[in-house]
Amino acid sequence: MDNEKGNIRSLRKLLDEKVKLYNQPGFIDKDPVQIPHSFTKKQDVEIAGLFAAVLAWGNRTTIINNCKKLMQWMDNKPHDFILNHKDTDLKPFVHFVHRTFNATDLLYFIEFLQYHYKQHNSLEDAFVPEKKYKEDTVEQALIHFHNYFFSIEHPERTIKHISTPARKSACKRLNMYLRWMVRRDTSGVDFGIWYKLNPRQLVCPLDVHVARVAHRLGLLDNIKSNWQNALQLTYHLRDLNPDDPAVYDYALFGLGMAERF
């Protein structure tokens, strides 16, 4: 038992040190989170954050440049653009491509966001329609968002761009988005502008790099990037910080980045 407590203390110390290294303003300029940080209006932050998270795979410079391009096409007023654009305003978007995300997907995202914001004040309602979310983790919120996102007529090909735990996906990018919107501290990276969800309910974003690091640290039994492992990792991280397990995303991400080079 003493050994186990000692191991937990050592692991917490290691991860807390890495959190301090990455959970600070200098991190913003090198990460897609800089895109929503360009805005102050809540809805602009939500929309910019969603695109930044959904497109966050591949080369980071390309991710950031493509997101900036989208925001420029929206006149750097994404909420106003979503609600009030005309069909002719969409012409630049028909040539957009980011890896497998293309103009068909982009135009549907815009259509859905307009559909949603005409009825709701915040994108948080797309994840949590009730007044308060009472589940242990964000699993049901992610499933609801996926089902709601595709509740209007949609292109079949776009389904792959919104993951869901119902298909055993780790939902890395959406969990990262929820971390941005829900976590709040004094470091200034995450926004903490959503209150129906609690930081304790967040699931740590998991990809193959984080899975390898977590496995090496004894936090995962294997290196699979799936929903089961995302939950297992999160439950272990709750042992280190019950109220804010997703804060260790910074540490695991940082260790994962170091592993790549």
Q: What is the pLDDT of residues 95-114, one digit of tens each?
A: 999 999 999 999 999 999 99
Looking at residue 256, what is its pLDDT?
Answer: 82
* Averaged pLDDT for residues 112-139: 98
Summarize pLDDT for 162-213 with one digit per residue, the tens: 999 999 999 999 999 999 999 999 999 999 999 999 999 999 999 999 999 9
Is residue 70 scored above 50 in pLDDT?
yes
Longest CA–CA span in the chain (Å) reads 67
**CB-hemisphere CA count at 13 Å for 147?**
12
pTM, two decimal places: 0.95
Q: Which of 4-18, 21-35, 89-103, 162-176 has the lowest mean pLDDT?
A: 4-18
Is residue 5 scored above 90 in pLDDT?
no
Exposed (0-12), middle (13-18) or buried (19+): which is 25, by Cβ within 10 Å? Answer: exposed
pLDDT confidence bin for 3, thresholds 50/70/90: low
Q: For the residues of 26-76, what is the DSSP string, one character each?
A: GGGGGSGGGTGGG--SHHHHHHHHHHHHHT-SS-HHHHHHHHHHHHHHTTT
Contacts of 188 (CB under 8 A, 6+ apart): 24, 25, 28
* Averaged pLDDT for residues 31-53: 98
Contact between 10 and 2 under an 8 Å Cβ cutoff? The reply is no
